């Protein structure tokens, strides 16, 4: 029976969902069973050997459904292998540097410290003005954010393959 992995995500406009889907695709290509779904739709972690949690980060905070997922499942997550990724920074360069090293929200960090994920990373996000409301466009302009797609698919693939190696140990 193949190792079963859950990739749970919280996405506002779909960029984080697309990253989660890519991670699930890589896991499946490498022989693992992977379920990819919105964090808010996860009913149970029973039967999973690992969980990947992905959350879009806006103004230093995760989407609330990701934070709720971690809080609700803290005990179960502490018992299995977990990986975490945040998305969001727009602009060229290292996403962690763009976020000044804050790759998960301060409010979530104590929960993750108790769960002890195998790895926590951040991927560049995607800002598309056609999907943004007026307030969001104003904020991006105000903080000097960059519009466009800053996801590094090569880095995402590499990270997913590292998860596979860890799960097959």
C-alpha closest to that of 86 among 100, 71, 103, 69: 103
Question: What's the domain count of the chain?
Answer: 1
* Burial class of residue 123 (count of CB atoms within 10 Å of its CB; 0-12, 13-18, 19+): buried
Q: What is the pLDDT of residue 105?
A: 82
Query: What is the domain-level CATH number for residue 8?
Result: 3.40.50.360
Residues with Cβ within 8 Å of 46's Cβ and at least 6 positions away in sequence, in order, are: none
pLDDT tens-digit readout, 59-111? 778 899 999 999 999 999 999 999 999 997 666 776 766 666 677 888 899 99
Q: What percent of the chain is predicted at pLDDT more than 90?
A: 60
Q: What is the pLDDT of residue 150?
A: 81
Ranges assigned E (strand) in 3-103: 4-10, 33-38, 50-58, 61-62, 81-87
pLDDT tens-digit readout, 26-51? 999 999 999 999 999 999 999 999 99
User: Tokens 């560049």 correspond to what residue?
Assistant: 124
The pTM of the whole model exceeds 0.85: yes
SS3 label, residue 81: strand
Domain that holds residue 114: 4-167
């Amino acid at each position: 029976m193949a190792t079963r992995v859950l990739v749970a995500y919280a996405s506002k406009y779909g960029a984080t969902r697309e990253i989660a889907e890519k991670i699930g695709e890589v896991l499946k290509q490498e022989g693992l069973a992977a379920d990819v779904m919105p964090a808010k739709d996860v009913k149970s972690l029973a039967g999973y050997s690992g969980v990947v949690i992905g959350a879009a980060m806006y103004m230093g905070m995760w989407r609330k459904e990701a934070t709720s997922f971690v809080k609700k499942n803290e005990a179960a997550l502490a018992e299995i292998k977990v990986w975490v990724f945040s998305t969001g920074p727009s602009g060229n360069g290292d996403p962690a540097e763009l976020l000044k090293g804050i790759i998960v929200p301060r409010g979530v960090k104590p929960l993750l410290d108790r769960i002890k994920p195998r790895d926590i990373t951040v991927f560049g996000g995607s800002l598309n003005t056609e999907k943004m409301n007026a307030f969001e466009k104003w904020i991006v302009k105000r903080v000097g954010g960059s519009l466009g797609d800053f996801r590094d698919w090569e880095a995402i693939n590499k990270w997913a393959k590292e998860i596979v190696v860890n799960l097959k140990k």
